[in-house]
Structure 1
Amino acid sequence: MLLRAAALATSLSALLLAAAPAVHAQGVINLYSARHYSTDESLYNDFTKATGIQIRRVDADDAGIIARLKAEGSASPADVILLVDAARLWRGEQDGLFLPIRSKALDEAIPPNLRAAPAADGGVAWFGFSTRARVIVYDKIKVKREDVDTYEKLGDPRNKGRLCIRSGSHPYNLSLFSAVNAHLGPEKTEAWLKGMVANMARAPKGGDTDQIRAVASGECQIAVTNSYYLARLMRSGTPEDRAVTERVGVVFPDQASWGTHVNVAGGAVARHSKNVDGATRFLEYLASPAAQNYFANGNNEWPVARGVTTDNPALKAMTGGRSFKIDDTPVGTLGTSQVQVQQMLDRAGFK
């Protein structure tokens, strides 16, 4: 059995390396990306025009990229890693897959709560480059806005039988629940999770878009979603999608208290990069105003660099053109309580 497992691991590594980008040159960076948006092509082309550095890209999801980096080890050709969730960025950091870097440009551009905590030498393992909010959508006909204006009210008995939500173990929810835990503490957070289970209109299933559609169809009356899923429906040319957005309202929770939870898409220099200078230049480029708009608008998100705003029409409509209060809990710390939160979910019966 051990020999078979070793042979399988060797075969997997061989396949991964065979599919890897070509040998390094200083004028090339190899990018492993979980982002699959058409606007990113312009992002990469503009970087090459400005620097002369070519980008060779491998696309996969977050979990696939993390697994690939582990399998490749020190032989990995990766220079830059782009992932789309803070929990997965944190996981990559904890697994030693990223190389902490020191960059004055990134330190000045990216707020501290949207990047990894500095290492002992001052290096930072990863940086957020766009944000999305974890918002509440509700049936405008059947639900009062004030009944869903905080995350805590999702577990209030007034909302019994109303709630739709995806799996509690999904990273988007784990990050949200970890943020709530940071504010309420374990005892109150677990009681809140049990309250949400009691309020569910059906068992958790599907993705965030499915939750929005379920509210519009009357299957439930409130749901939790990342803001960009709603923005996609708002920008759709399909009449069915527009009908969905006309039926639902949106709340940015906890504006009178700690603020709305946000998650990030971000990037890092790979631990075994053969072109650290080029990789660092690329991350610094992502913090520039022009790149921030490409990066954020590719997925209907908000830029994070200081002083950069967006003209995305769906995001403006969602917020009424106003800024909203953001929970300033450092997203890089939320992963530390996720095992504890998962145990709470198990005890609460939150699937």
Structure 2
Amino acid sequence: MYITKWFKPVMASAILAVGLAGCGSNQNSSDSDKETTKKTTTKNEVVNVYTARHYEADDEVYKMFTEETGIKVNVVKAEAEELIERLKREGESTQADLFLTVDGGVLANAKKNDILQPVTSEVIDKNVPENLRDKEDFWVGMATRARVIVYAKDRVKPEELSTYENLTDDQWKGKVLARSSTSLYNQSLLASFIELNGEEKAEQWAEGIVKNFARQPDGGDRDQAKAIAAGTGDVAIMNTYYVGLLANSEDPEEVKVAESIGVFYPNQETNGTHVNISGIGLTKHSKNKENAVKLIEYMTDVEAQEYLSANNYEFPVNPKAKQPELLQSWGEFKMQELNFETLGEHNAKAIEIFNKTGWK
């Protein structure tokens, strides 16, 4: 993966550039099976993106889209909450056409704050399964990531693992690693347990994990993997795409870490493995709606989906997109079945439970 020179991250405080793109040639697509717009434009056009996804792979997809359509993509990057507040503040004057973020709860919050509008597109409906789109079409999934159990290959056998709940057993005392309760990933994981199993069982799980901590939560997901490699703990709760980033790092030490750990999908015999989603929403006051819909269609089409998966190690939402060899090597798994909106609905209770159980 390389850093594209086409786009550079723009801080949220910067003024959104809305300069015109260069004219493209009038050329039709030779691939009749692709329903996304593959023809270049004959006039200068733009689409303006507010994104909480800070990934080089996304920037490269924007470049690919521009090369294929002639539509320039202007990008503002910031944290999701900041962008939501900015869209509320800007109102009808906003230049933003699309809002991109991670986490179903955040997408639900954006919808609740009335900064999005429904998207109607047969292409999108074909690209993205119904369970990975908002029920009222206010947002569309663009990638998913599973929150799994990662284990030390030299100290743990896969057959010793089974469920998230199993990590609370005495056999894992002093061996479990996790990041802090301030992590949205952990909050949404616990929120999913609240939705599926009820508050009481969710609290019991959090309490049991705290009891089995190898250390107090520290660092991000990659730091948990490094702690396994260092022998601090034997198992960790992590998002899959971080394992991919480690395995393909330019740092040889991170590659060694990835080689020392295995990926296990828990709860395959019960509710399934927890999966969260990254999604795209069309802003309520989009000035370039047609171009914005074209970009959503492009990002959910097979080519872009395969690029994102191969370079950011997320799972594609388009079922026709092939997964890279690394993701395939982890095997297939059953995904939790729940409405992603519930992750936002139970977020406050999840934080309350974390505080109550001492998960710092």
Scaled to the shorter chain, the TM-score interval is 0.7 to 0.9
Letter in 2 for 1:208: D
1:174 partnered with 2:187: yes
Indicate the SS of the match to 1:230: helix
The answer on whether the counterparts of 1:164 and 1:201 sit within 8 Å (CA) in structure 2 is yes
CA separation of 1:42 and 1:164: change in aligned 2, threshold 3 A: closer
- Deviation string 1:299-324 (CA, Å, 9 cap, x unpaired) is 111111132222x232123x1xx322
Using the alignment, how far apart are the partners of 1:41 and 1:342 within structure 2? Answer: 33
Which moves more between the two structures, 258-267 or 329-338?
329-338
Counterpart among 113, 124, 140 of residue 106 in structure 1: 124
Matched with 2:264 is 251
1:339 partnered with 2:357: no
CA separation of 1:237 and 1:55: change in aligned 2, threshold 3 A: closer
- Deviation string 1:44-68 (CA, Å, 9 cap, x unpaired) is 2332243332211122233332233
Using the alignment, how far apart are the partners of 1:348 and 1:278 within structure 2? Answer: 48
Indicate the SS of the match to 2:227: helix
1:299 partnered with 2:312: yes
Describe how 1:220-299 pairs up with structure 2 within 5 A. Answer: 220-299=233-312
| Deviant stretches of 4+, over 6 Å | 15-18, 23-26
Matched with 2:328 is 316
The answer on whether the counterparts of 1:28 and 1:56 sit within 8 Å (CA) in structure 2 is yes
CA separation of 1:35 and 1:17: change in aligned 2, threshold 3 A: closer
Letter in 1 for 2:106: R
Displacement of 1:330 in angstroms is 2.6
CA separation of 1:239 and 1:20: change in aligned 2, threshold 3 A: closer
CA separation of 1:247 and 1:295: change in aligned 2, threshold 3 A: closer
Q: CA RMSD of the aligned region, Å?
A: 2.2
Counterpart among 186, 211, 217 of residue 230 in structure 2: 217
Matched with 1:90 is 108
Which moves more between the two structures, 327-336 or 193-202?
327-336
CA separation of 1:51 and 1:350: change in aligned 2, threshold 3 A: same
Letter in 1 for 2:75: R
CA separation of 1:36 and 1:345: change in aligned 2, threshold 3 A: closer
Displacement of 1:16 in angstroms is 6.9
1:349 partnered with 2:358: yes
Unaligned runs of 5+ in 1: 1-14, 119-123
Identity %: 38
Unaligned runs of 5+ in 2: 1-10, 21-42
Using the alignment, how far apart are the partners of 1:17 and 1:218 within structure 2? Answer: 42
Counterpart among 3, 7, 29 of residue 47 in structure 2: 29
Displacement of 1:129 in angstroms is 0.8
- Size of the aligned set, in residue pairs, is 328
Using structure 2 for the length normalisation, give the TM-score. 0.84
Using the alignment, how far apart are the partners of 2:279 and 2:100 within structure 1? Answer: 6
Using structure 1 for the length normalisation, give the TM-score. 0.86
